[in-house]
Structure 1
Amino acid sequence: MKIGIIIHSYTGNTLSVAQKLKEKLTASGHIVNLEQVTAVNGDPKEARNVVLKDIPDTKTYDVLIFGAPVWAFSLSPIMKLYLSQVPSLQGKKIGCFVTQQLRFKLLGGNNAINKMKKACQSKGGSVYETGIVNWSHKQREAMIEEVVDRFGRV
C-alpha cells in the first residue's frame, strides 16, 4: 500500500512520532512518504493569520495519516486550514494523531482529534484509528509505541 503521513510539527514532537510510524510501516512492506504542512507564518502566537507554504497532495495515497500538535486546547490552526483545503478524501482510509504538552487528553487532545476526524469525514474519508500522545506524561514513550503499533495495523 502507498501511505502518506502528512503532519504539521512546530517543536519536532509530532515529527518524531511520525518518523517512528514511517519506520514501522516501511518495515511492514508499505511505500511510505512523510510530508510536512508548513506555513509562511508558523508561529503559534500569530495563528490567526495563517498562510500555508507547503500543501501536500493526498491524491496518490491509499491510506493517509495526519498528525499535528495541540495548540491552545485545540487542533493547530495550520493543520486545520490544511484539512479545510484538501479537495477530497473520498474512499481514503485515514488515521489521525496529535501530540500535546499537557498530561491529560481532556485538555485539548480529545478536542483536536474530534476536529481532525470531522474534517476528514466531511471530505469523504473513513477514519480507522486515532491517537493522542501526552508529551509531559511519564509514560510518553509507551504512549508513542502504542500509537505507532495501532496505526501500523493498516
Structure 2
Amino acid sequence: MQRIIVYFSLEGNTEYIADEMAKELSSDKLRLVPKKAYATGGFSKFFWGGKSAVMAEKPELEPYDVDLSAYDEIIFGFPVWASTFTPPLRTFILENKEGLKGKTIAAFACQSGAGAEKAFSKLKDCIGIDSFAATAIFIDPKDKPSEENEHKLNEFCKMLQQIV
C-alpha cells in the first residue's frame, strides 16, 4: 500500500511524529508551508493561529508537488488550534478534493491541552468522509517525549499496517 503523510507543523511536534511514522511505515511525506508564516511566540501565536483556525481561513501555500493518484492511503497530521485542525490542511483539502475521493484516510493530532476529538470531527466534515481508518492523539511529542506517546505511535502504525 502506498501512503503519504500530509501535515502542517508549527513548532516541530507534528513534524516529529510525521518523521517517525514515515520511517515505520515507509511512507512519503508532504509538509504544508503557508506563504505567510504564523507567529510562533507568546500571545500572538495563540491569537492569530486560533483566529485563523476558528474563522476556517484558507491560507495560500508554498508550491507543492504531489500526485494523489499514486497513493492508496493519506494520513493527515496537524497541531490542534482552538479545537480544530490547522488552516493549511483546509487549503490542501479544498485544492485536492477530487484526489482524496476513494482513498483510505487516517489522521493524527498533536496538542498540549485538549480539542483533538472535535478537530477530527471537523476534519472529517471538511474532507467529506464518515470516519477515519485510524486516529491518534499525541501530547507534545517532541517537546515532552513520553512512553505513552511512543506506545500510541506504535499502535497507530500497527493499525495502519493492517489496512489492506
Q: If the TM-score is normalised by the length of the shorter chain, which range does it land in?
A: 0.7 to 0.9
Residue-by-residue CA offset, 1:17-65 (whole Å, 9 max, x unaligned):
1112111112xxxxx2111111011305444362211445323211111
**What does residue 127 of structure 1 align with?**
132
Structure with bigger strand share is: 1
**What does residue 8 of structure 2 align with?**
8
Of the three residues 104, 108, 129, the one matched with 1:97 is: 108
Q: How many Å separate the matches in 2 of 1:11 and 1:39?
A: 14
State the Cα RMSD in Å: 2.4
- List alignment gaps of at least 5 residues for structure 2: 40-44
- 1:132 aligned partner, one-letter code: I
Q: How many Å separate the matches in 2 of 1:125 and 1:42?
A: 32
Per-residue deviation, 1:112: 1.1
In the comparison of the two structures, how many residue pairs are matched?
Answer: 143
- List alignment gaps of at least 5 residues for structure 1: 27-31
- 1:151 aligned partner, one-letter code: L
Structure with bigger helix share is: 2
- 2:16 aligned partner, one-letter code: S
The answer to whether the 8 Å contact 1:93/1:126 transfers is no
**What does residue 29 of structure 1 align with?**
none
1:131/1:54 CA distance change after superposition, 3 Å: farther
**Counterpart mapping for 1:65-80 below 5 A:** 65-80=75-90
Q: What TM-score do the two structures reach when normalised by structure 1?
A: 0.78
1:25/1:147 CA distance change after superposition, 3 Å: same
Of the three residues 24, 30, 45, the one matched with 1:35 is: 30
